[in-house]
Homo-oligomer: A and B are copies of this chain.
């Protein structure tokens, strides 16, 4: 396309670097920014810069935080004996928003994916093993997506953590709340029968 100014070209190129954003979407974003007040654009730019300047990774769990140790790791009310291993900080946010989990986290920073060239050495796995070897942790919950990569990571971690005297569990796989049985895929339905749970453990929806 033919742009009337280099500044437009620059902004479109920058927006188009965002994941899932092509040139058409970038132009849409650009038009939005053009219509904004100058002040709003300055706030936007400053928010980006400030975030990069202030944020670091928590030295314990690799979650992002503006402190050396994140709010979750430094919270005395959290159960330090239960550790939930997740792919990235989005999963921490998602689990935190359920308000059902009182333990701590470990963020791998990715998932084992040979197709993308990501192996165990690229993830925060050594620091996970080190944390567990310190002895305080009694249970590790692996909370990954139910994809091939998630299953691979589950299996790899299970083998690495076998030597420690801890429980290793994964989050339950089964029929989502609100799903109709007849539309569930066979593997999910099959697993949900194999891994059936005592009815008393299920909190009824009120």
A residues bordering B, Cβ < 8 Å?
Answer: 1-8, 10-11, 13-14, 17-20, 25, 27-34, 36, 38, 40-55, 63-66, 70-72, 88-90, 92-94, 96-97
Q: List residues of chain B with CB within 8 A of the CB of A32.
A: 17-19
Q: Given A31-B88, A66-B7, check contact A93 B1 (CB 8 Å).
A: yes
Task: List 7 additional contacts besides A8-B55, A19-B28; criterion CB under 8 Å.
Answer: A4-B89, A5-B64, A14-B44, A17-B32, A31-B88, A31-B89, A45-B48
- CB nearest to A3 among chain B residues: B93
Contact residues in B for A11 (Cβ distance below 8 Å): 47-48, 51
- Pairwise interchain contact B19-A71, C-beta atoms closer than 8 A: no
Considering only CB atoms, which chain B residue lies closest to A71 in the complex?
B4
Query: In the complex, which residue of chain B has the Cβ closest to the Cβ of A28?
Result: B19
A55 proximity list for chain B (CB < 8 A)? 5, 7-8, 34
Complex contact B7–A47 (CB within 8 A): yes
Q: Which residues of B contact A47 (CB under 8 A)?
A: 7, 10-11, 13-14
Inter-chain CA distance A17–B43, complex, in Å, is 12
* Contact A90 B4, beta carbon cutoff 8 Å: no
24 contacts between A and B (CB under 8 A): A1-B96, A3-B93, A5-B54, A5-B65, A7-B47, A7-B54, A7-B55, A11-B47, A14-B43, A14-B44, A14-B47, A18-B32, A19-B28, A20-B25, A20-B28, A28-B90, A31-B89, A33-B48, A34-B55, A36-B52, A41-B48, A41-B49, A41-B52, A45-B48
Name the residue on B nearest A47 (C-beta).
B10
Assess the A51–B18 pair: CB atoms within 8 A.
Answer: no
Q: When the two chains form their complex, are residues A48 and B44 in contact, meaning their CB atoms are under 8 A apart?
A: yes
